[in-house]
Amino acid sequence: MAKTKFPRSCTSKKSGSLSGAARVPGDKSISHRSLIFGALAEGETLISGLLEGEDVMNTAEALQQMGVKVANGTDGLWRVYGVGAGNLSEPANVLDMGNSGTSTRLLMGLVAGHHFSATFTGDASLVKRPMRRVMTPLEEIGAQFLARTGDRLPLTVRGAESPAAISYSLPVPSAQVKSAIMLAGLNAMGRTTVIEKEPTRDHTENMLRHFGVPVIVEKLEEGGEAIHVDGVAMLKPCAVDVPGDPSSAAFPVVAAVICEGSEISLSNVLVNPRRAGLYQTLQEMGADIRFEHVRQESGENVATLIATGTNTLKGITVPAERAPSMIDEFPVLAIAAACAEGTTRMSGLAELRVKESDRLLMIAKGLEACGVKLEMGEDSLTIHGTGKPPRGGALIETALDHRIAMSFLVLGCVSDEPVAIDDAAPIRTSFPNFIDLMNDLGAQLSPDSSY
């Protein structure tokens, strides 16, 4: 049964400048993958910095149901006792993925490469999200599906008896679909190839290499790239340091940038260029954001991020081709755009319609309720900033979407009147200490006492 989420409101009021140093929780994408690849390696994988948010915990629980021991030590480290690709066992019960699309789609790929059945379900947000995008390639690999009308959860996957190595060109720019195919391909004999026209986050590729599996990336003449992996793959257990999540860092960074006089520093943040679109965009808008102590950890670049507040953000046009590198950051970019002087144009946003909520709609509705002028298109958003903080003074509907919730709490740090959200509970999926971390930096967020 899907877990019940209780509405718990939270209010954000004008804070003045933010200051101090903080560390955001582990990257959500890398956390999911560290558990999954740990399960596919034979032996003990040691994970530090794992995001202990609800989404990642749902991945851990599902892997346990498939016969993998996952343990949280008193030393803060997580240990995964992997069983090897092809050696997972059939879960005895339905896998409840809560709010997590990444857990669902990646684990559908994992199950597709194993000859057993698993049934996935989720919360009121997840059961509305499209699964056809992963079902089509996984059917080619040999898996079978029985899903609700519209290819929605709950759905059952029957994994392939003898998974086929396929070559598949992604019709949508989605790292989840790419990763689902590669996960199934690890247990297929021969070469699995995924072709992507637009680059999406490459954590699956980076982490597979970290686990000792060669991944070949071939640049294509017609643009884009082909990613090849050979199966059946042998993953070697290893140590993974999960860096801080740039998609979580985005909230305190935008809060600092829009609150004049702020200076905050966030250590150990992932700075993979395929995740950095928001930071580039904010810099183009005139924000003062610097990356210091850049270094490599577990196959990924990390840095300390310094953000300073300004009152001179300018509206810009964000190139559509940048969208995949900041796909989760449009809600909080919209908040910065609402505080900037002039018009910000964003396009290439079709994927925002199928996230935890219809994000394009929820951003537009929320900003309009706060007195911001904008135009929403099918896959675009134009925001007219006045160079002054918006009015605020609204109760925002968040539709079980953690990023909508956090974005509007950031807006409340500068708006003339407080901004409240109807449900803070989904924030626990990705950033469980968001309210405390923001308040420690000087924000004025007051949660309902039961949050």
Q: Among all residues, which ones are annotated catalytic?
A: 328
Nearer to ligand S3P, 134 or 396 (CB): 134
C-beta atoms surrounding 74 within 10 Å: 5
Decide if residue 174 touches ligand S3P (CB under 6 A): yes
By CB under 6 A, residue 100 contacts ligand S3P: no
Tokens 């860096």 sit at which residue? 243
**Rounded to whole angstroms, how far apart are CA atoms 402 and 10?**
13
Q: How far is the CB of 373 from ligand S3P (least distance, A)?
A: 28
- Our CB check for ligand S3P shows the closer of 89 and 169 to be 169
328 binds ligand S3P (CB under 6 A): yes
In three-state form (DSSP H/G/I as H, E/B as E, the rest C), the secondary structure along 66-85 is: CCCEEEECCCCCEEEEEECC
Does 175 sit near ligand S3P (CB under 6 A)? yes
Q: Give the residue from 91, 32, 39 showing the smallest Cα distance to 66.
A: 91
Q: 48 in helix, strand or coil?
A: strand
* DSSP element (H, E) containing 42: strand 42-48
Tell me whether residue 200 or residue 304 sits nearer to ligand S3P (CB atom). 200
Query: Of all residues in this chain, which one has the CB nearest to ligand S3P in the complex?
Result: 29
> Cβ of residue 7: shortest distance to ligand S3P, in angstroms?
23
- In the DSSP assignment, the letter for residue 25 is P
Q: Establish if 134 lies at the interface with ligand S3P (CB under 6 A).
A: no
CB neighbourhood size of 388 (10 A): 11
Binding to ligand S3P by residue 205, rule CB under 6 A?
Answer: no
CB of 247 to ligand S3P, least distance (A): 7
Question: Partners of 348 in the beta sheet?
Answer: none
Q: What is the CA radius of gyration of the chain?
A: 21
DSSP assignment of 428-451: GGT-TTHHHHHHHTT-EEEE-TT-
Cβ distance to ligand S3P smaller for residue 99 or 344: 99
Instruction: Please report whether residue 351 would count as binding ligand S3P according to CB under 6 A.
Output: yes
Instruction: Give the nearest distance from C-beta 29 to ligand S3P in angstroms.
Output: 3
Q: Is the peptide bond before 154 cis (omega within 30 degrees of 0)?
A: yes
Q: Does 429 bind ligand S3P (CB under 6 A)?
A: no
Q: Which is nearer to ligand S3P, 102 or 398 (CB)?
A: 102
Residue 167 and residue 141 in contact, taking contact as beta carbons nearer than 8 Å: no
* Contacting range for ligand S3P; rule: CB under 6 A; set: 118-126, 162-170, 172-180, 258-266: 172-180
Does 179 bind ligand S3P (CB under 6 A)? Our answer is: yes
3-state secondary structure of 140: helix
29 binds ligand S3P (CB under 6 A): yes
Per CB under 6 A, the segment of 73-81, 160-168, 170-178, 419-427 that binds ligand S3P is: 170-178
Q: Which of 327, 333, 370, 437 binds ligand S3P (CB under 6 A)?
A: 327
Are the CB atoms for 24 and 244 separated by under 8 Å? yes
Does 186 help bind ligand S3P (rule: CB under 6 A)?
no
Work out whether 420 is an interface residue with ligand S3P (CB under 6 A).
Answer: no
Closest contact distance (angstroms) between CB of 382 and ligand S3P is 22
Whole-angstrom distance, CA of residue 214 vs CA of residue 58 = 28
> Exposed, middle or buried: residue 195 (CB in 10 Å: 0-12, 13-18, 19+)?
middle
Closer CB to ligand S3P, 15 or 29, in the complex:
29
Q: Does 99 bind ligand S3P (CB under 6 A)?
A: no
* Smallest separation (angstroms) from ligand S3P to the CB of 451: 22
Instruction: Report the distance separating Cα 331 and Cα 320, nearest Å.
Output: 15
Site of tokens 């394009």: 360
Residue 273 and residue 30 in contact, taking contact as beta carbons nearer than 8 Å: no
CB of 339 to ligand S3P, least distance (A): 24
Give contact residues for ligand S3P (rule: CB under 6 A): 29, 102, 174-176, 179, 201, 327-328, 351
